[in-house]
Amino acid sequence: MMLWSVIGAGVAGLAVATELVARGAQVQVFDPSGPPGPHGCSWWAGGMLAPWCEYENAEEPVLRLGQQAIAWWAQHTTVTRCGTLVVANPRDLPDLRRFARRTEGFAEVNHAEIAQLEPDLAFFSKGLFFPDEAHLDPRRALSDLYRGLIDKGVTFHCKPAPTGLENAIDCRGLHAREVLHDLRGVKGEMLVIRAPDVALTRPVRLLHPRMPLYVVPRSDHVYMLGATMIESEDSGRITARSMLELLSAAYALNPAFGEAEVLEIGVDLRPAFPDNLPRIRRLGRTIYANGLYRHGYLLAPALAQGVADLALSNTHTELVDEDRA
């Protein structure tokens, strides 16, 4: 049986390995950083499976391919299917109307309906509810994929992949820029906080013309706050301005966030191609799968399926944009 070598153990690499194994392939994984952890941008993701919300500012394939993600992830980890709530303060209601015009798959909700969905947000008068969206805990998802692969006999090598590998699949994100010259890094900044006085059950997006915020619930009143997308390849610490704006937006969503404990501060660089869509490229004996941008968990299943189609049956899906085997 042909042995496939996946290089990189982030969400892309683990999803690709999982899909290959599910189709009966023999797989090994190389990553010098070891098992999934804070060294990779997948660790700092929000975990929102929100194709309709993302469609507001994304291309059509994100909506169409992203709709496959919930079912795929539910086979491998815990997925919470509670939908997404989008709200705006009174002065920002034009942004809510603009958001609605640019997407689909939602119901308009009023004050009473918002209070029923999220009692802690009962002071918002209007919103949009996306009932078919879901979310997951990225760190648990990565761990579940990793453990699932080990249970199926996949070997993980905590070292760089040897040169000259046959049947290699490169999922190294920005580390593949020496080959994928049109790949760039997009900086993201996030906070993990514990807010015992806040009880949210689903991802919530607060629209704001300068600092739109998303809040994703974890367990035990822990929340991930994210918003910023900066065209920069500086992966240093979060800026004071970004942290202040994130916390101010959270306070505007619910003043009880003002008493929250900051648990973690995260900064990552997300790999992206010029159109912000993922790509599969076969160059010689290596298949490159990259460019998930801010849609790592949403589009990793489609990327993995496209890689498996190319590797195992030489089938070209729409994500394959170059094949020089």
Helix (H) or strand (E) holding 108: strand 107-110
3-class secondary-structure state, position 193: strand
Q: pTM, whole model, 2 decimals?
A: 0.95
3-class secondary-structure state, position 7: strand
- Collect contacts of 255-259 with beta carbons under 8 A, ≥24 apart: 256/120, 256/195, 256/197, 256/198, 257/193, 257/195, 257/198, 259/195, 259/196, 259/197
Local confidence band at 230 (pLDDT 50, 70, 90 cut-offs): low
- pLDDT score of 234: 63
Q: What domains can you pick out in the chain, each with its CATH number?
A: 3-46+137-182+275-324 (3.50.50.60), 84-131+184-272 (3.30.9.10)
First-to-last alpha carbon distance for the chain, in angstroms, is: 20
> What are 2-17's pLDDT values in tens digits?
999 999 999 999 999 9
For residues 263-270, average pLDDT: 92
For residues 199-226, average pLDDT: 94
- pLDDT score of 317: 95
DSSP state of 144: H
Look-up of token digits 């009966």: 24
Local confidence band at 164 (pLDDT 50, 70, 90 cut-offs): confident
Alpha carbons 199 and 121: distance in angstroms, whole number: 9
**Contact predicate 14/142, CB 8 Å:** yes
- pLDDT score of 208: 87
The DSSP string of 44-88 is G---EE-HHHHGGGS-HHHHHHHTTHHHHHHTTS--B---EEEEE
Alpha carbons 284 and 185: distance in angstroms, whole number: 25
184 Cβ contact partners less than 8 Å away, ≥ 6 residues apart: 231, 233, 271, 272, 273, 274
The DSSP string of 203-248 is -EEEE-SS--EEEEE-STTEEEEEEEEES----SPPPHHHHHHHHH
Beta bridge partners of 280: 289, 320
